[in-house]
């Protein structure tokens, strides 16, 4: 969705919908704006969200990213768990206007890396490449159509891993977009996976050669329409890919099984009324007897949950509403989940959602990210 257009047509939404998502939205704008197709679509998104009954309030919100308040800037996030000091863990977020930002668990910005228009970001820890064991952060950079890879140092700062940037073949991927790292238990190889706005998909393997790191192409394919959100389930050697106007695909990370791609029927925007395109962020909660796939349903500002242990059955959807202190969440792109115990506030895991309309003191601010305790989400369904 185009936040710039939506902001200037927001008044129609406020007249048309009664929503819990942001504090006193009707007070935020007073100018009468002309109705447009975009404002009707946004109003429809809020109306669809109102049908989602389960709701939560975010525990923490981050500082706004460096951008104008009408910019589509924040997008995806990744979580680095600090094993020696969990309360010093870091959440990295992309800023499509110029870089990568790091936040602590209180939502305070701790670092900013002005490396370009970063779109999607991911982290894998304890990765063995050659003789090295690394925590690795990777992302797509749309400034120069490249993939960036970094090692995460003990203090959470990042250091360039590959030296020269890995440039994407733009004759196949028209605009590098989605990004994911995979480190399957079955073979302990690190895969770097990207896709483009044209639905073209490539999977690479990161290899160590003579003291440097290189990416070898393993597999490529074409989806029928635009893709972005991806997440790996390393324990089952699986990858999930979101086709924005359709739903989610599951495929094996084993190159001998690529033909066995499976569409998750209950993720379909055509048949599941709780999911409205675009299908955006994907993430997985895997702990104990629960292995759950989470999906950001951008068209109705909500999140759908599927049971991966039971043929990806759809379980429930929830939304994030506003409180006196933190506004609600709309138009989420990326989501991220970790099942680690970070702190008393996030003792059962952390859920991070990008917020497309972020309000601070009754004024529209630049976009940011919201944090929720995984227990609060699970308790919506597992009581």
Secondary structure (DSSP) of 182-241:
E--TTT---EEEEEETT-EEEEEEEEEETTEEEEEEEEEEE-SS-EEEEEEETTTTEEEE
pLDDT digits (tens, 9 = 90+) for 261-276: 999 999 999 999 999 9
CATH number reported for the structural domain that contains residue 152 in this entry: 2.120.10.30
207 within a domain of the structure (yes/no):
yes
- Asked if the structure places residue 145 within a domain, the reply is yes
Q: For residues 312 and 277, is the Cβ–Cβ distance under 8 A? A: no
- Spatial contact of 199 and 226, defined as CB atoms under 8 Å apart: yes
> What is the pLDDT confidence band of residue 287, given thresholds at 50, 70 and 90?
very high
Q: Decide if pLDDT at 20 tops 80.
A: no
Query: Rounded to the nearest 10 degrees, how much is the dihedral formed by the CA atoms of 276, 378, 344, 302?
Result: 10
User: Do 371 and 234 belong to one domain?
Assistant: yes
Q: Are residues 11 and 154 in the same domain?
A: no
Integer Cα distance of 72 and 364 in angstroms: 13
Give the DSSP H or E segment for 37.
helix 37-49
Nearest CA to 249 out of 312, 168, 327, 160 is that of 312
Give the pLDDT score at 225: 97
Contacts for 44 with CB less than 8 Å, ≥ 6 apart:
none
Are residue 271 and residue 291 in the same domain, yes or no?
yes
Contact 244, 299 (CB under 8 A): no
Contacts of 13 (CB under 8 A, 6+ apart): 25, 39, 42, 43, 46
**Tens-place pLDDT, residues 171-216:** 999 999 999 999 999 999 999 999 999 999 999 999 998 888 999 9
In whole angstroms, what is the distance from residue 18 CA to residue 87 CA? 38
Query: Are residue 21 and residue 66 in the same domain, yes or no?
Result: no
Let me know whether 116 and 1 are in one domain. Answer: no
Instruction: Give dist(CA 193, CA 73) in Å, integer.
Output: 22
Specify whether the CB–CB gap between 250 and 312 falls below 8 A.
Answer: yes
Is there a single domain that holds both residue 136 and residue 1?
no
Of 378, 366, 380, the closest CA to residue 63 belongs to 366
Task: For residue 219, count other CB atoms closer than 10 A to its CB.
Answer: 16
Q: Which two tokens stand for residue 133?
A: 């064991």
| DSSP assigned state of 382 | -
Closest CA to 120 of 178, 196, 65: 178
Whole-number Å distance between alpha carbons of 238 and 319: 27
Residue with tokens 């400034």: 143
Q: Looking at the 3D structure of the chain, how many domains does it have?
A: 2
**Whole-angstrom distance, CA of residue 246 vs CA of residue 249:** 9
Nearest to 27 by CA among 18, 14, 17, 36: 14
| Pairing assessment for the beta strands 313-321 and 54-57 based on DSSP bridges | parallel
Is 262 among the domain residues? yes
Asked whether residue 43 falls in the same domain as residue 112, the answer is: no
Tens of pLDDT, residues 227-262: 999 999 999 999 999 999 999 999 999 877 777 899
Q: What is the pLDDT of residue 257?
A: 76
Residue 286 lies in a domain: yes
- The torsion defined by the Cα of 233, 235, 236 and 241, in degrees rounded to 10, comes to 10
Residue 102 lies in a domain: yes
pLDDT tens string 136-173: 999 999 999 999 999 999 999 999 999 888 999 999 99
**pLDDT at site 37:** 63
Alpha-carbon distances of 360 from 60, 154, 175, 326, rounded to whole Å? 13, 33, 33, 8
25 phi, psi to nearest 5 deg: -55, -35
Are residues 277 and 351 located together in one domain of the fold?
yes
pTM for this model (two decimals) = 0.91
Residue 213 belongs to a domain:
yes
Give the domain range for residue 35: 1-50
Do 11 and 101 belong together in one domain? no
Q: Where are the beta strands (DSSP E) in 223-362?
A: 227-233, 238-243, 247-252, 262-263, 279-287, 290-297, 302-307, 313-321, 335-338, 350-355, 358-360
The answer to the question of residue 383 being in a domain is no
Answer for the pair 191, 204: CB distance below 8 angstroms, yes or no: yes
Whether residues 109 and 157 share a domain: the answer is yes
Q: Do 304 and 229 share a structural domain?
A: yes
Q: Does the residue 336 lie in any domain?
A: yes
Q: What tens digit of pLDDT does each residue of 22-67 get? A: 444 434 343 343 345 678 888 999 999 999 999 999 999 999 999 9
Do 96 and 35 lie in one domain? The reply is no
Dist. CA 326–CA 64, nearest whole Å? 13
């Amino acid at each position: 969705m185009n936040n710039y257009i939506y902001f200037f047509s927001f008044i129609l939404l406020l007249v048309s919908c009664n929503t819990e998502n942001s504090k006193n939205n009707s007070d935020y704008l007073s100018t009468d704006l002309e109705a447009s197709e975009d404002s009707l679509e946004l109003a429809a998104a809020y109306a669809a969200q109102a049908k989602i009954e389960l709701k939560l309030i975010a525990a923490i919100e981050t500082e706004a990213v460096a951008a104008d308040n009408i910019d589509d800037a924040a997008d995806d996030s990744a979580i680095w768990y600090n094993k020696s000091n969990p309360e010093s863990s870091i959440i990295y977020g992309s800023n499509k206007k110029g870089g990568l930002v790091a936040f602590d668990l209180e939502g305070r910005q701790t670092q900013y890396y002005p490396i370009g228009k970063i779109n999607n970001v991911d982290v894998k820890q304890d990765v063995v490449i050659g003789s090295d064991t690394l925590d690795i952060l990777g992302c797509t950079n749309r400034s120069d159509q490249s993939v960036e890879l970094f090692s995460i140092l003990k203090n959470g700062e990042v250091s360039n891993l590959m030296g020269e940037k890995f440039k994407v073949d733009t004759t196949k991927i028209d605009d590098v977009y989605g990004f994911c790292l995979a480190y399957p238990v079955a073979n302990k190889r690190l895969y770097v996976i990207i896709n483009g706005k044209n639905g073209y998909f490539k999977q690479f393997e990161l290899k160590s050669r003579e003291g440097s790191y290189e990416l070898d192409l393993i597999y490529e394919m074409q989806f029928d329409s635009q893709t972005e959100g991806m997440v790996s389930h390393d324990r089952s050697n699986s990858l999930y890919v979101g086709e924005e106007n359709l739903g989610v695909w599951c495929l094996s990370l084993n190159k001998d099984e690529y033909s066995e791609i499976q569409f998750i029927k209950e993720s379909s925007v055509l048949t599941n009324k709780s999911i409205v395109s675009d299908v955006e962020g994907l993430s997985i909660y895997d702990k104990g007897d629960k292995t759950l796939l989470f999906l950001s349903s951008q068209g109705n500002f909500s999140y759908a949950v599927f049971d991966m242990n039971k043929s990806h059955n759809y379980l429930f959807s929830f939304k994030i509403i506003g409180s006196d202190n933190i506004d609600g969440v709309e138009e989420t792109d990326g989501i991220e989940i970790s099942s680690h115990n970070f702190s008393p506030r996030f003792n059962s895991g952390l859920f991070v959602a990008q917020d497309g309309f972020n309000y601070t003191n009754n004024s529209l601010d630049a976009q940011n990210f919201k944090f929720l305790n995984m227990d609060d989400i699970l308790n919506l369904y597992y009581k």
